[in-house]
C-alpha cells in the first residue's frame, strides 16, 4: 500500500522539515501489523514527494489470535495488505506524529502555512463509490480525481471493483491534510482492524478538531468511524451538532433501517424478551441462533449460565464481525469463550457443524429468504438440525399500516423478500409442523392491535417424535460432508 504526498512550493524540500523526515534517508518503522517505510522518490527545489509504503503482514496479524471457525483462508488472503485502511491511519499517526500535531521545531511558521499539497493513494476502498468519496473531501476544499479500478483486467466483463486510485489536491496546512486522511480513510473503507471502544470518540474529536464540526457529512463520518456503534455515534453526533434531531444526522445503516421503521428500541426489546422467556422455559443446554445478525440474542443467551453451548449462525461476515465485537469474545474468559461459537453459513444448506441442539431461534430471518428457498430451509431446520423446540418470528404485514413512516405497500426492510399476514404465517407454520412431526403454538409480540394484530408474530414449534433418521442416512451424509463443507439441499 503506497501513499505519496507532494508539493511544488519552492523550495519544495521544505516538506522534509514539515514531515520531520530527511529527504535523503530511507527510514523504516516497525508496526504491530507489519512495517512502514518513508522515502522520497523525488526531492528537488521545484518538486518534492514523500512516500509512505505500508507492508501489512497478513500472517503476523493472525498469529496468536483464536482461529476463525469458518473461511480459514480469508484471514491470510484478503485485501488488507494492498489497500488504504485503518492500518494506514495508524501508520500515519505513528510515523508522522509530529506533523500530525501541527508542530515543526525548525520551521514553526511553515507548519502554520497552507501550502499546495497533492496526495496520491494507490488503492482506496470506497464503500459508497465515487460520490461518497467526493462528499468526504470536496467540502474540505480538495480537488478530487478518482479512477475506478476494475476487478480484474483479464475479465473486464466482471466490472468495477470498490477500489479507486485517488489524487487529492488542496492548498492546506500539512497537519490538517494528515488529520483528514487519518479520519476519512477508515470511513471510506468502512472497516477497522481494531476494537472500537469509548476512547475512539476522543480520537475522532482530536483529529476532527477544527473541521469535523462544520463538515456537512459529520453524522455519516462519525457513524462509520465508530463502526456504526449506535450508542457511540449518538454521543459523538450529539456533541458535534448539539442537534435535536440526531437521527437525521446519522446515516441509517442497512440493519438499522428496519429499526427506524418499527421504532424498534421497544419492539426489538420485547421480541428478545419474548424469545428468552420461551427459551428459558424449555431449559435447553445447547441453543442455536439461526440468522443471529449482530448478536443481540446471543448476548442475552450468554448471561444464562444454565446454557452450556450457544451457537450463532449468519451468512453475513460483517454481521458476525459486529457480533464478535458486541460479545467481546476476545475478552471473555476461556471458559466463557468455549460456550460461544459463531459460524458463517447459509441456512438453506445443511451444515455438518449444526447438530445436537435442543433449541433453535430464527428471529426475523425467514422473510430474508427467497420464497423458493424456504423449503430447503425447512428441511435444514426441522429435519437436519431437528431441535426439540424452534422459535420463529417474522413481521406481521397487516400491522404495517400502523407505521407512520412506512409508505403503503413497502416492506419494513429493503432486503425482505416477503412479509406475511397472520393467516399466511399460520398456514405455513401448521403445514411445516404437520410435515416434520412438530406441534405449533402462536404468540403475539408487541402491542396487539384489535384490527391488525401485533407487529411481530411468533411460532413455537415443539417436537412430537424424535424421529430416527432413515437407516444408513447418517453414514451417507457423513460421506457427503467429507467431500463438501456444506451439503447442498434441493440443488
Q: Which residues bind ligand SAH (CB under 6 A)?
A: 291-293, 296, 314-316, 319, 346-348, 363-365, 368-369
CB closer to ligand SAH out of 204 and 369: 369
**Residue among 197, 201, 199, 140 nearest 170 (CA):** 140
CB closer to ligand SAH out of 346 and 454: 346
CB closer to ligand SAH out of 6 and 346: 346
29's grid cell: 518503522
Which H or E run contains 188?
A: helix 174-189
* Beta pairing partners, 457: 394, 444
What dihedral angle (degrees, nearest 10) is formed by the CA atoms of 169, 173, 179, 185?
Answer: 10
* Pairwise CA distance, residues 60 & 58, whole Å: 5
What is the smallest separation between the CB atom of 343 and ligand SAH, expressed in angstroms?
10
CB closer to ligand SAH out of 292 and 432: 292
Please name the residue that has the C-alpha cell 504491530.
32
Contact yes or no for 313/345 (Cβ under 8 A):
yes
CB closer to ligand SAH out of 140 and 374: 374
SS3 at position 267: helix
What is the smallest separation between the CB atom of 453 and ligand SAH, expressed in angstroms?
19
What is the smallest separation between the CB atom of 312 and ligand SAH, expressed in angstroms?
9
CB closer to ligand SAH out of 2 and 315: 315
What is the smallest separation between the CB atom of 290 and ligand SAH, expressed in angstroms?
7
What is the smallest separation between the CB atom of 17 and ligand SAH, expressed in angstroms?
51
What is the smallest separation between the CB atom of 271 and ligand SAH, expressed in angstroms?
7
CB closer to ligand SAH out of 9 and 326: 326
What is the smallest separation between the CB atom of 272 and ligand SAH, expressed in angstroms?
8
The DSSP call for residue 468 is P
What is the smallest separation between the CB atom of 62 and ligand SAH, expressed in angstroms?
25
What is the smallest separation between the CB atom of 305 and ligand SAH, expressed in angstroms?
22
CB closer to ligand SAH out of 211 and 403: 403
434's grid cell: 404437520
* Pairwise CA distance, residues 33 & 56, whole Å: 6
Burial of 45 (0-12, 13-18, 19+ CB in 10 A): exposed
Burial of 41 (0-12, 13-18, 19+ CB in 10 A): exposed
CB closer to ligand SAH out of 274 and 316: 316
137 phi and psi angles, rounded to 5 deg: -95, -35
Please name the residue that has the C-alpha cell 483462508.
73
What is the smallest separation between the CB atom of 385 and ligand SAH, expressed in angstroms?
13
Task: Give the sheet arrangement for strand 48-56, strand by strand.
Answer: 27-31, 34-43, 48-56, 2-7, 115-125, 160-172, 143-150
Please name the residue that has the C-alpha cell 503476523.
60
Please name the residue that has the C-alpha cell 492500518.
87
CB closer to ligand SAH out of 342 and 363: 363
234's grid cell: 449518538
* Beta pairing partners, 43: 48
Contact yes or no for 178/52 (Cβ under 8 A):
no
What is the smallest separation between the CB atom of 346 and ligand SAH, expressed in angstroms?
4
CB closer to ligand SAH out of 256 and 398: 256
Q: What is the number of the residue whose Cβ is closest to ligand SAH? A: 293
Q: Which residue blocks in 360-456 are alpha helix, DSSP H?
A: 374-378, 422-436
Amino acid at each position: 500500500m503506497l501513499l505519496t504526498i507532494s508539493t511544488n512550493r519552492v523550495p519544495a524540500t521544505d516538506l522534509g522539515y514539515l514531515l520531520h523526515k530527511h529527504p535523503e534517508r530511507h527510514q523504516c518503522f516497525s508496526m504491530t501489523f507489519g512495517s512502514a517505510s518513508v522515502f522520497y522518490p523525488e526531492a528537488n527545489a521545484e518538486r518534492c514527494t514523500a512516500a509512505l509504503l505500508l507492508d501489512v503482514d497478513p500472517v503476523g496479524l493472525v498469529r496468536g489470535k483464536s482461529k476463525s471457525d469458518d473461511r480459514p483462508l480469508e484471514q491470510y488472503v484478503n485485501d488488507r495488505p494492498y489497500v488504504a485502511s485503518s492500518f494506514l491511519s495508524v501508520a500515519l499517526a505513528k510515523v508522522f506524529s509530529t506533523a500530525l500535531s501541527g508542530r515543526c521545531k525548525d520551521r514553526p511558521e511553515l507548519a502554520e502555512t497552507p501550502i499546495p499539497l497533492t496526495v496520491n493513494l494507490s488503492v482506496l476502498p470506497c464503500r459508497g463509490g465515487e460520490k461518497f468519496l467526493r462528499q468526504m473531501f470536496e467540502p474540505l476544499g480538495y480537488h478530487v480525481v478518482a479512477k475506478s479500478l476494475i476487478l480484474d483486467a483479464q475479465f473486464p466483463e466482471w466490472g468495477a471493483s470498490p477500489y479507486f486510485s485517488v489524487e487529492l489536491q488542496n492548498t492546506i496546512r500539512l497537519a490538517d491534510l494528515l488529520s483528514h486522511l487519518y479520519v476519512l480513510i477508515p470511513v471510506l473503507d468502512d472497516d477497522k482492524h481494531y476494537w472500537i471502544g469509548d476512547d475512539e470518540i476522543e480520537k475522532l474529536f482530536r483529529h476532527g478538531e477544527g473541521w469535523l464540526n462544520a463538515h456537512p457529512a459529520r453524522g455519516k463520518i462519525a457513524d462509520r468511524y465508530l463502526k456504526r456503534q449506535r450508542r457511540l455515534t449518538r454521543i459523538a453526533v450529539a456533541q458535534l451538532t448539539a442537534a435535536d434531531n440526531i437521527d437525521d444526522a446519522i446515516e441509517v445503516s442497512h440493519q438499522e433501517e428496519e429499526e427506524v421503521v418499527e421504532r424498534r428500541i421497544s419492539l426489538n426489546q420485547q421480541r428478545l424478551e419474548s424469545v428468552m422467556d420461551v427459551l428459558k422455559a424449555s431449559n435447553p443446554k445447547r441453543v442455536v441462533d439461526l440468522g443471529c445478525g449482530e448478536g443481540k440474542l446471543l448476548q442475552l443467551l450468554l448471561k444464562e449460565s444454565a446454557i452450556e453451548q450457544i451457537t450463532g449462525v449468519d451468512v453475513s461476515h460483517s454481521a458476525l464481525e459486529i457480533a464478535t465485537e458486541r460479545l467481546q469474545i476476545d475478552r471473555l474468559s476461556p471458559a466463557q469463550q468455549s460456550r460461544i461459537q459463531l459460524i458463517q453459513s447459509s441456512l438453506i444448506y445443511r451444515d455438518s457443524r449444526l447438530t445436537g441442539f435442543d433449541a433453535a431461534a430464527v428471529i426475523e430471518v425467514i422473510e430474508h429468504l427467497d420464497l423458493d428457498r424456504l423449503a430447503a430451509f425447512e428441511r435444514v431446520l426441522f429435519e437436519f438440525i431437528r431441535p426439540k423446540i424452534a422459535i420463529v418470528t417474522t413481521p406481521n404485514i397487516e400491522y404495517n399500516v400502523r407505521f407512520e413512516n412506512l409508505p403503503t405497500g413497502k416492506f419494513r426492510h429493503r432486503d425482505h423478500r416477503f412479509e406475511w399476514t397472520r393467516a399466511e404465517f399460520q398456514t405455513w407454520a401448521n403445514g411445516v409442523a404437520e410435515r416434520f412431526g412438530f406441534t405449533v403454538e402462536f404468540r403475539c409480540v408487541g402491542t396487539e392491535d384489535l384490527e391488525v394484530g401485533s407487529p411481530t408474530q411468533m411460532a413455537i414449534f415443539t417436537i412430537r417424535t424424535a424421529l430416527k433418521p432413515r437407516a444408513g442416512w447418517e453414514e451417507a451424509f457423513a460421506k457427503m460432508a467429507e467431500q463438501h463443507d456444506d451439503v447442498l439441499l434441493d440443488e
